[in-house]
Amino acid sequence: MDSAADIRITVYGKTDVGLVREHNEDCFLIADATQDRRESELRDPLEIAVGTKGALLLVCDGMGGAAAGEVASQMAVDSISSALATSEPSPRDAFARRLRRAIEDANDRIYAQSRDNQNERGMGTTCTAVALVDDVLVLGQIGDSRCYVMRGDRLAQVTKDQSLAWQLIEAGAMTAEEAKAFEHANIILQALGVQERVDVALSQVPLRRGDVVLVSSDGLHGPVSDDEILQILREEKDVKRACDRLVARALEREGPDNITVVVARVDGESLPQPAAEDLVQFAAYDPGPDPNDPVKPIKTDSGEKVTVEVTIPKEVIGLTGGAGKDDDSRTPGPRVGTAPGRPGQARSLLTFIFLTLVAAAAAAVFLEYERSQALEQEERATSVVLKNALEPATPAAVAAPDPAATPDAAAR
């Protein structure tokens, strides 16, 4: 399908500060890029007929203390939505590349502002962007906000949390239920504005008629289980009432964090009806590189591009333990939280210190190796240049006279 001529979404969004936080650092946006309409405060559900520039559902969960998290999340939604609104209509792959680039540009802006303003130093935000320009959802992910799709009686998470807990789940070191009580569940591996460069995780979901899309911050999916989310979405056909009930359920669980939910129902005659084999699941999406959008290199002192990847064995990961979480805020990068008297805390603390040291040592060794290789190459190149400069020019080889040659031939 090359267009979204008759695809319609009915969507509503809601955010709440929760019962513990002083500030609401969450931010959401619903945008109709074709009509250049952007909404972050709704009284009633919004009807969007997906046009040539597509539609966007965006949830960002800020961090950084004081009001800095609010600044980061607002900058992200403004930057990403503006980039899509000012772009030209394009097919899906180009649209996905533009979404990826928009998220990367948002990171650049937040990172620069964080670096240049002392009061906003260290601010950042998660970002889950759900966009469609035809009959396939395109998702861009940074951090641990989520997107779910409900199809029929089944609910599936179609993003992967970029968090330490999620990596442990995928490694088989803990279950999803155990992760809720994990001592370091607040550690995320990426956030916009925290590092100079981010790696946007793109995925895609082919849509079916009647699909329900939910985008949420961890203020919802942290305290509220997937089964409870599914039950509410099944019972509430109205997207506004569904949002209200989801937020209310999180508040019933003491509302430990800011809560944001965006719910959209999808319809359209051109969309196929769901079939039994239409399983919804995470599916990575690679739209290919954009020749007009070169990748930003990471440079060492020698100017070489370096990618450092440290793999932690499952046996070591399995040593991590502990219960409870000492800090409800998400923390980018490795950080160890402590809370006296918790079972397994000492083992968990020592293990995390060990893992951090291993990762740092491995990265340092790799970088030093790359640097030494580059220096050796420079020295070899310099030696060749000096040698050529100091050695006298080698005279051209003189051919031995040919006895058979005549004087006239030699003159020629």
Local confidence band at 323 (pLDDT 50, 70, 90 cut-offs): very low
Count of CB atoms within 10 A of residue 346's CB? Answer: 12
Superfamily covering domain 8-267: PPM-type phosphatase domain (3.60.40.10)
Residue 325 predicted with pLDDT over 50? no
What value does the mean pLDDT take over residues 158-177?
A: 91
Quote the pLDDT of residue 295. 54
Percent of the chain past pLDDT 90, that is, above it, reads 60
Domain ranges of the chain: 8-267, 314-390
Count of CB atoms within 10 A of residue 251's CB? Answer: 16
Measured between alpha carbons, how far is 123 from 170 in angstroms, rounded to an integer?
A: 28
Local confidence band at 96 (pLDDT 50, 70, 90 cut-offs): very high
Q: Regarding predicted confidence, which is higher, 295 or 168?
A: 168
pLDDT tens column, 231-280? 999 999 999 999 999 999 999 999 999 999 999 999 999 999 999 888 89
Residue 2 predicted with pLDDT over 90? no
pLDDT tens column, 19-51? 999 999 999 999 999 999 999 999 999 999 999
Quote the pLDDT of residue 310. 39
Structure tokens, 188: 């995320």
Of the given ranges (49-53, 187-191, 244-248, 340-344), which has the lowest mean pLDDT? 340-344
Structure tokens, 5: 């001529």
Quote the pLDDT of residue 330. 60
Q: DSSP secondary structure string, 258-319?
A: -EEEEEEEEE-TTSPPP-TT------B------TTSPPPPPB-TT--B-----PPPHHHHTT
pLDDT tens column, 62-92? 998 667 999 999 999 999 999 999 999 999 9
Residue 370 predicted with pLDDT over 90? no
Of the given ranges (47-56, 132-141, 230-239, 370-379), which has the lowest mean pLDDT? 370-379
Quote the pLDDT of residue 180. 77
Q: Is the pTM of this model over 0.85?
A: no
pLDDT tens column, 194-224? 999 999 999 999 999 999 999 999 999 999 9
Residue pair 167/126 in contact by the 8 Å Cβ criterion: no
Residue 140 predicted with pLDDT over 90? yes
Structure tokens, 161: 């949390």
Measured between alpha carbons, how far is 97 from 88 in angstroms, rounded to an integer?
A: 13
Which range among 259-273, 274-288, 324-338 has the greatest average pLDDT? 259-273
